[in-house]
Structure 1
Amino acid sequence: MANQVEPLLIKPLFQALQKERFTTISTVDFETKGPNVSAISWIIAPDMEHIRFAVDNRSRIVKNIEQNDLVVINIIANESCYSISGKANVKCEKMEGVPLKLALLEVEIQEVRDVMFYGSKISVEPAYEKTYDAVAAAKLDNQVIEAMKKGLC
């Protein structure tokens, strides 16, 4: 059923956010003050009230959140499309145990909204594949996800 609103993650979304997946994040651009949308995949939910994600520490996402902490994460899961809004903060500018200079960010969830249009459901979730060395990608993904779960800074 469309347009359901919750104050925290519902169980299917929490389960969907236990591994890397395609999502988008919307921030307020620090220069234009307009919307900025980026695709991310290193994202997890450590609990029902928070979402953590990792991005290059030079990313525009980091600069945007430092200026305005309001974010919306869009996720397709549970046969629907969800908008998760909250306040984000930079937990650390360089994650430990990861070879890249990745920032760890955390969102305190304020609202989870089912935004799927009426009378429909998602029949196939988005899929993607890494276009660089598969072994190196898998190793890096595991390092990043484990560091995010532990909140290593």
Structure 2
Amino acid sequence: MVNRVENQLTEPLFKEMQKERFVTLATVDYETGGPNVHTLSWIMSKNEKTIYFAVESHSRIIQNIKKNNQVIVHMIADESAYSIAGKTAIKEEVLDHLPLKLALVSMQIDEVRDVMFYGAKMTVQPHYDKTYDLKAASQLDEQVMDAMKKA
């Protein structure tokens, strides 16, 4: 059985990316040229071909994509695992009106590939708990997601 390959997000994936969620991001390390893997939660689909994510302005992610703009977002959704490949651009160096210095990155999708191994499906979404002030975390999450929606 061949895994599905699309050139944009499917409707279920687009819907899943309308809220904060756990994903991994693979970049090319600016120093070693090797792979770097990061976890993100501030990510959303702007449309079927564009994903936005927010990261700390001076993070290694930003340094990596300034040197090589190709990335992959790995996402578990719709009972499967997906590799979303594309090219990034820094849309805003620092998002205004946020308590943290976060950059907004735009990703143009080239390929969406179902990478789940044969004969299996995902039955549970990754789950995480915030380990700091829950009220502050909720407020910050809402501010960041709102800023991305307005961009």
| TM-score, normalised with respect to structure 1 | 0.97
Q: Write out aligned runs for 1:82-121 (5 A).
A: 82-121=82-121
Mapped to 2, the partners of 1:12 and 1:98 lie a distance apart of 30
Give the superposition deviation at 1:92.
1.1
1:25 corresponding residue in structure 2: 25
Tell me the matched-pair count: 151
2:47 corresponding residue in structure 1: 47
- Compare 89-98 and 14-23 and name the one that shifted more: 89-98
Mapped to 1, the partners of 2:97 and 2:123 lie a distance apart of 37
Mapped to 1, the partners of 2:150 and 2:3 lie a distance apart of 33
Give the superposition deviation at 1:99.
1.3
Q: Write out aligned runs for 1:44-83 (5 A).
A: 44-83=44-83
Post-superposition Cα deviations, 1:48-76, rounded to whole Å, max 9, x if no partner, equal 00000000001100000000000000000
Amino acid of the structure 1 residue aligned with 2:107: V
Post-superposition Cα deviations, 1:24-55, rounded to whole Å, max 9, x if no partner, equal 00000000000000001000001000000000
Mapped to 2, the partners of 1:16 and 1:116 lie a distance apart of 17
Give the superposition deviation at 1:2.
5.7
State the secondary structure of the residue aligned to 2:144: helix
Where do 5+ consecutive residues of structure 2 fail to align?
Answer: none
RMSD: 0.9
Give the superposition deviation at 1:96.
1.4
Provide the identity percentage.
Answer: 54
Mapped to 1, the partners of 2:12 and 2:55 lie a distance apart of 24
1:2–1:59 Cα change, 3 Å: farther
2:16 corresponding residue in structure 1: 16
Where do 5+ consecutive residues of structure 1 fail to align?
Answer: none
State the secondary structure of the residue aligned to 2:13: helix
Give the superposition deviation at 1:125.
0.8
> 1:55–1:104: 8 Å Cα contact kept in structure 2?
yes
Mapped to 2, the partners of 1:79 and 1:70 lie a distance apart of 26
Mapped to 1, the partners of 2:13 and 2:67 lie a distance apart of 28
